[in-house]
Amino acid sequence: MQASDKKVVGIIAAIGAFLIILVLVATSMYGIYFKTKEDSTTRFVANVLSLPAARVGSKRISYSRFLKTRDAVRSYLNSPAGKADISVMPTAQELDNSIIENLIQQEMVKEVAEDLDVTVSDDDIRAIFADVISAAASSTTPDVAQYLYENYGWNEEDFRQEVLRPALLAQNVAIKMANEAQGDETALDNYLQIRRGQPDVVIYLTLQ
């Protein structure tokens, strides 16, 4: 085979590989935005391309984050603890809507926290987690790490970042907003309700 022929074959192979990748990405994006798929290929493409599930202002909520949260919630719902706590299981659509709205709310709280200069330090998180460990020691679930893994598929760091940090940030923001609103404890909730209705808060997924 002549050099020119090899070059042509190489170009054709490159084009073929590009088309395969293009089809793979297009298929995955359709699966994400219209079917909320979660197979390994979709997860890979979503992670590599940082595909968004929603947006709050300039901040994007990634589809990978949505899936990670959904994985944890499903794990809990299917665990003995979840089945004992919840008498009526949500539908798939109800679950997805609840998850994405919760992630949007967390992002809106982060947004207002930046405006108000409210932060949560790692030391704050460690102190709260120590309280959780202390309370668990005298309960029916003394091994927190085992409980988190069996019921959520999380480790302790996941719990600190996915649950404790946003909860503590929301609490601190609510306190500051209440103080600035002459003690109105509904100030944060009222703000979030208004913020949620603004056009730059967008869900890209078709939840069905």
Instruction: Tell me the pTM.
Output: 0.84
Q: What is the pLDDT of residues 151-169, one digit of tens each?
A: 888 888 998 999 999 999 9
Angle at 11 between CA 7 and CA 14, to 5 degrees: 135
Which range of residues forms the domain containing residue 42? 1-49
CA angle 49, 51, 55 (to 5 degrees): 145
Same domain, 38 and 69: no
Do 83 and 158 lie in a common domain? Answer: yes
Q: How many domains does the chain have?
A: 2
Residue 36, both tokens: 């909320």
Note whether 34 and 75 are same-domain residues: no
User: What is the sign of the dihedral through the CA atoms of 202, 206, 51 and 18?
Assistant: negative
Q: Is residue 208 part of a domain?
A: no
pLDDT, tens only, 102-160 = 999 999 999 999 999 999 999 999 998 888 888 777 666 668 888 888 888 888 899 89
108 and 6 within one domain: no
Cβ(108)–Cβ(195) below 8 Å: yes
What is residue 6's predicted lDDT score, i.e. its pLDDT?
A: 52
Same domain, 87 and 36: no
